Chain A
Amino acid sequence: MIKSFAYVRPTSVDDALEMLGADGARVHAGGTDLMGCLRDGVFEAERVVSLRDVPGMRGVRASTQGVTIGALTPLAEIARHSVIGEQYTALARAASVVGTPQLRSQGTLGGNICQRPRCPYFRAGFDCRRKGGRICYAVGGDNHGHAIFGGVRCHMVHPSDTAAALTALDATVVAVGRAGERRIPIGDFFVAPSVDPTRETVLEHGEMVKEIVLPPAADDQRSSYHKEGHRRTWDFALAGAATALRMTGGNVAEARVVFSGVAPVPWRSMAAEEALQGNTLTPEVIGRACDAAVEGAAPMRHNAYKVGLLKGVLEKEMLRYV
Chain B
Amino acid sequence: MSSSKEPPRGDGLSVSRRGFLTSMGLGAVGVALPEITPATGPEIVPAGDVTRIALRINGRTHPALVEPRWSLLHVLRAEVGLTAAKEGCGRGECGACTVLVDDQPRYACLTLAVEAEGAEITTAEGLMEGEELGPTQQAFAETDAFQCGYCTPGQVMATEALLRANPHPSPEDIRGGVSGNLCRCGAYENIFRAVERAAELRSGGAS
Chain A residues packing against B (C-beta within 8 Å): 1-11, 15, 18-19, 28, 31-32, 35-36, 38-39, 46-48, 50, 52, 74, 76, 99-103, 105-106, 232-234
Contact = CB atoms under 8 A, between A and B. Distances in A.
Contacts of A74: 104
Interface string B1-22: 1000000000000000000000
27 contacts: A2-B69, A4-B67, A6-B44, A6-B68, A8-B43, A10-B41, A19-B44, A32-B110, A35-B71, A36-B110, A39-B91, A46-B47, A47-B44, A47-B47, A48-B68, A50-B114, A99-B180, A100-B92, A100-B95, A100-B181, A101-B179, A105-B104, A105-B105, A106-B101, A106-B106, A106-B111, A232-B179
A101 B41 contact: no
A6 B46 contact: yes
Contact of A102 (B71, B90, B95): B95
Nearest to B103: A105
Contacts of B111: 31, 35, 106
A4 B45 CA distance: 11
A88 to B, nearest CB: 21
Nearest to B161: A101
Give the size category of B's interface with A. 35 or more
A75 to B, nearest CB: 11
Nearest to B74: A1
A102 B42 contact: no
A5 B51 CA distance: 13
B110 A101 contact: no
Contact of A8 (B45, B110, B112): B45
B158 interface: yes
B98 interface: yes
A90 to B, nearest CB: 19
A74 B111 CA distance: 14
Given A8-B45, A50-B112, A50-B115, 14 more contacts: A1-B69, A3-B69, A4-B69, A19-B41, A19-B42, A19-B44, A28-B112, A35-B92, A48-B68, A101-B161, A102-B98, A102-B158, A102-B180, A103-B107
Nearest to A11: B42
A160 to B, nearest CB: 16
B179 A234 contact: yes
